[in-house]
A and B are shown apart, each in its own frame.
Chain A
Amino acid sequence: MSDTTLRVDPVGVVGAGVIGRGVAQDLAQTGHRVLLIDISDESLAAAREEIERNVRVHHLVKRGAERQDVAQVMRRIRFSREYDPLSGARFVIENVTEDWNIKESVYRDLDDICSPECPFGANTSAIPIHRIAEVTRRAPRVLGMHFMNPVPVKPVVEVVRGSDTCDDTIELAEALLSQMGKESIIVNDSPGFVSNRVLMLTINESVTLLHEGVAQAEAIDAIFKRCFAHDLGPLETADLIGLDTVLQTLRVLRDALHDDKFRPCPLLESMVDADLLGRKSGQGFYRYGEGGLHDARQTGSR
């Protein structure tokens, strides 16, 4: 992007969880100054460590990527527990926990601190964008940006136009994503948008098939990978997202759309109760051993 007037920089990233870390890494690797904000020091320390590790291996992971100067990339990221540095941000991408009360309070704070022109990109799985926009005094500057994991290698973002979102905001989001080497697919606001409306049903039905004993997890995933050429099957995807997040998203979709087809499978609920949350807890539909590597056949042998 040669037009410096369009250059969106610096960028605030709020929430240093899995997606927030990926967004911060990707922004820094594409030359942006980043303000990564989280309420927890532990989370910020873990974010720094993981981002550094991932920058180091990025050229191996992403086809065509060049080796980067790790120290230089890391210097572009400022880690902070305070919101104040966000007053200078040209764009804010929010990735906090998918809990309405938390999101609401974060958006009230952001609205007070950020400049009135600064757009807010909400990274949410299922919360309607208009609901977030209503909390702020800048509804036309609020949109949804649904990043996929792992962010630095995913070439496309689902961009959500809320009922009040103005064209300028969409254009700025597209410009920012383009600076990150990403394409935008713009959809209208609806709970779960396109991706999660379809994905959550697919995961839930796959869990139901497993629950009914129709097929084992490996067989279900293999059908998607080998017949439909997906990189991951639905149960591996659920393990990657986190079963608690899947359960929470299904509940949000059921409540928002008043449709019982989103009712979570009892097996999913009992796995979350038992803390079998997927990769992050070490076991979900598969068991994750050394370095997050999974192999269901090793279950019981460790």
Chain B
Amino acid sequence: MTSEAIKARLRELCSRRAPDLADEDDIFEVGGVNSLFAIELLTFVEEGFRIRLEDEDLDRKFFRSINAMAALVERKLDAQG
């Protein structure tokens, strides 16, 4: 999957709760993103991209923005081969 395709899926996901979110915006700081959505994001990243996140991946910095999540997904997909 290309990085643009990964970002497109993440954007689609975030757009409902935070319609005006830019790729670099901090999702934990904008309105509309709450705790429930954060749980959904994690589940979505694991199930949607079929990756298993390790404890060290569960850091706020990797989920802060669409760009950060895309980088995490790409790194995990590469590692899985």
Q: Is the pair A60, B58 in contact by a Cβ cutoff of 8 Å? A: yes
A231 to B37, CA, bound (A): 10
Instruction: Give per-residue flags for A50-90: 1 if the beta carbon is below 8 A from chain B beta carbons, else 0.
Output: 00001011011111000100000000000000000000000
Is B36 an interface residue, CB under 8 A from the partner?
yes
Query: Are B36 and A293 touching (Cβ within 8 A)?
Result: no
Q: Which residues of A contact B5 (CB under 8 A)?
A: none
How many Å lie between the Cα of A290 and that of B13 in the bound state? 11
- Distance from A142 Cβ to chain B, minimum over Cβ atoms (Å): 30
Q: Are B42 and A293 in contact (CB under 8 A)?
A: no
Bound: A294/B36 CA distance, A? 12
Interface size on A, residues (CB 8 A): 22
Instruction: Give chain A interface residues in 126-169, CB to chain B under 8 Å.
Output: 150, 153
Q: A292 to B46: give the CA distance in the assembly, Å.
A: 12
Query: Cβ of B16 and Cβ of A294 under 8 Å apart?
Result: yes
The reply to whether B55 and A56 form a contact with Cβ atoms under 8 Å apart is yes
Interface flag for A263 (CB, 8 Å) = no
> Is A240 at the interface (CB under 8 A from chain B)?
yes
A155 to chain B, nearest CB (A): 11
Whether a CB of chain B sits under 8 angstroms from the CB of A232 is yes
A63 nearest in chain B by CB position: B28
Task: Digitize A174-185: 1 where CB-to-B-CB distance is under 8 Å, 0 elsewhere.
Answer: 000000000000
Distance in angstroms between the alpha carbons of A292 and B45 in the assembled complex: 12
Given A60-B38, A60-B58, A150-B39, the answer on whether A290 and B47 have CB atoms closer than 8 Å is yes
In the assembled complex, which residues on chain A have CB atoms less than 8 Å from the CB atom of B34? Answer: 231-232
With a CB–CB cut-off of 8 A, which chain B residues contact A56?
55, 58
In the assembled complex, the CB of A72 is this many whole angstroms from the nearest CB of chain B, namely 13
Task: For residue B76, give the distance in angstroms from its CB to the closest CB of chain A.
Answer: 16
Main secondary structure of the interface of B (DSSP, over half): helix
Known contacts being A292-B40, A292-B43, A293-B44, is A61 close to B35, with CB within 8 Å? yes
User: From residue A59, how far is it (CB to closest CB) to chain B in Å?
Assistant: 7
Bound Cα distance A85, B80 (Å): 45
**A108 at interface by CB-CB < 8 Å:** no
Q: Is A291 an interface residue (CB 8 A)?
A: yes
- Are B40 and A293 in contact, with the CB atoms below 8 A? yes
> In the assembled complex, which residues on chain A have CB atoms less than 8 Å from the CB atom of B31?
225, 229
Q: Mask for B15-45, Cβ within 8 A of A = 1, else 0?
A: 0100000000000100110111011101110
Give the nearest-CB partner of B45 in chain A. A291
Give 15 pairs: A residue, B residue, CB < 8 Å, sorted on A.
A57-B42, A59-B58, A60-B38, A60-B58, A60-B60, A61-B35, A150-B35, A150-B39, A225-B32, A232-B36, A291-B43, A292-B40, A293-B44, A294-B16, A295-B12
- Which residues on B are within 8 Å of A, measured CB to CB? 12-13, 16, 28, 31-32, 34-36, 38-40, 42-44, 46-48, 55, 58-60, 63
Q: Which residues of A contact B (CB under 8 A)?
A: 54, 56-57, 59-63, 67, 150, 153, 225, 229, 231-232, 240, 290-295
Q: Which 8 A-B pairs have the closest CB atoms?
A: A291-B43, A153-B35, A231-B34, A291-B47, A61-B38, A61-B35, A291-B44, A293-B44
Could you list 20 further interchain pairs (A-B, Cβ under 8 angstroms) beyond the known A231-B32, A293-B48? A56-B55, A57-B38, A57-B39, A57-B42, A59-B58, A59-B60, A60-B38, A61-B38, A67-B55, A150-B35, A150-B36, A150-B39, A153-B35, A225-B32, A231-B34, A290-B47, A291-B44, A291-B47, A291-B48, A292-B40
